[in-house]
Amino acid sequence: PATVAETKARFMKGYPYPLPSIWATVLQELLVGMHFTVTSRKYAHEEMRALGFVSVFDQLFEGYPETSDPNAREKIFATFMDALGQDGKKWRSDAEKLSTFASAQTTIDGIVANPMFSTMKQKSEAKALMYDKFIAIGFFRALEMSKQTSPENLKKMSDASGIAMEKINGDLGLYKSVLSRMNAAKELQAEVLERERRKAAERLEKKASKEASSASAAE
């Protein structure tokens, strides 16, 4: 398998453009975390992981400045997955398919009846499931889409998948913390950009006023 350095280098080669600092830092953390997941000997593609990761990526990149390239977010996503040796189109397609499925369910029983849960449970019992936080996030997103977010329903997903509730709760707490920090950073950046915009407007206004005064004196 590739090293972390090689994975980072592939991303930088595929997307050699500067990223705003708040996104660059989080993206590097995601890249390193996903590198260790996909290079594990246990790794196998899971639709629930795809839903979790794509959800996190899209939430983190809400509000990403696209003044020069309106397709920047999708280019970053595609390059990110390519750097990991993964098919970004498949990940997004599986996430959308699972989103559609979850949104159509009216009961938690309908969700856990999906064959993927029994498959995950078999792998869990055989200690062959490559679990990571994105699977837990996928569970939460599926509950959100079906409007069934409750501890009891999350416990049913835990039981159906064979993944310990303690792991799921711990990773969901981390997920909410990351989103909270990211939103705070976005708000701070928005304030900085607004201050810069006002200063630029003031400079232009002063320049126009000075030019008008000079023109008036010349007359």
The encoded tokens of residue 40 equal 């594990």
Report yes or no: 130 and 43 within 8 Å, Cβ to Cβ. yes
The encoded tokens of residue 161 equal 């998948």
Q: What is the mean pLDDT of residues 167-181?
A: 83
What is the average pLDDT value for the chain, to the nearest integer? 89
26-50 exposure pattern, b = at least 16 Cβ within 10 A, e = fewer: bbeebbeebbebbeeeeeeebbbbb
pLDDT category, 22, cuts 50, 70, 90?
Answer: confident
19 pLDDT exceeds 90?
A: no
* CA distances in angstroms from 94 to 55, 83, 154, 190, listed in the order given: 12, 19, 21, 33
Report yes or no on whether pTM surpasses 0.95: no
**The pLDDT value given to residue 190:** 66
CA 118 to chain centre: 26
Neighbours of 146 (CB within 10 A): 19
144 pLDDT exceeds 70?
A: yes
Residues, the chain: 219
The encoded tokens of residue 59 equal 């939430």
191 pLDDT exceeds 80?
A: no
